[in-house]
């Protein structure tokens, strides 16, 4: 019975990860579009589009951070806690949170460029 419960838990978590990853994937055309837009951005509208892209990426990273945090908590609550998995999930949560903050910063800079209040030469993106 314990094995069945474990298998079911692994299956459910796997399906959760797969469904979230499906929502996170970016199609190749969108990736090419944003790269071209970054290379050629000159108008406020261009910078707004880039900022919006980064805001979506930030939201996705926040979602992943929360998912890994929850997974880590779940591993810690098991009758036999799995500290290795808890630590792994904690690290992933932290990295995704850092990525979200970086995307927010890039979005802020592009919004500033669109408004003419940010010096675009001092930033990489």
Q: pTM of the entire structure?
A: 0.70
**Residues 110, 125: contact at Cβ < 8 Å?**
yes
> pLDDT grade, residue 65 (50/70/90)?
very high
Angstrom CA distances, 91 to 35, 50, 69, 119, stand at 29, 28, 9, 34
pLDDT of residue 2: 58
> For residue 25, what are its two tokens?
């994937």
pLDDT of residue 81: 78
Burial class of residue 48 (count of CB atoms within 10 Å of its CB; 0-12, 13-18, 19+):
middle
**Residues 104, 57: contact at Cβ < 8 Å?**
no
- Each residue's pLDDT tens digit, 71-122: 999 999 988 878 789 999 999 999 999 999 999 999 999 999 999 886 655 5
- What number is the average pLDDT over the span 21-28? 55
Q: 78: which DSSP letter?
A: S
pLDDT of residue 100: 96
Distance CA 30, CA 48 (A): 16
> For residue 122, what are its two tokens?
């001092």
Domain boundaries, the chain: 27-117
């Amino acid at each position: 019975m314990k094995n069945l419960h474990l298998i079911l838990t692994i299956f459910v978590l796997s399906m959760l990860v797969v469904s979230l990853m499906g929502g996170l994937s970016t199609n190749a055309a969108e990736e090419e579009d944003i790269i071209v837009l970054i290379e050629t951005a000159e108008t406020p509208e261009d910078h707004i589009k880039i900022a919006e892209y980064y805001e979506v990426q930030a939201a996705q990273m926040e979602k992943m951070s929360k998912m890994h945090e929850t997974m880590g908590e779940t591993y810690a609550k098991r009758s036999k806690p799995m500290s290795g998995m808890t630590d792994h999930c904690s690290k992933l949560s932290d990295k995704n949170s850092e990525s979200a903050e970086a995307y927010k910063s890039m979005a802020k800079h592009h919004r500033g460029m669109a408004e003419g209040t940010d010096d675009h030469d001092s930033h990489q993106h």
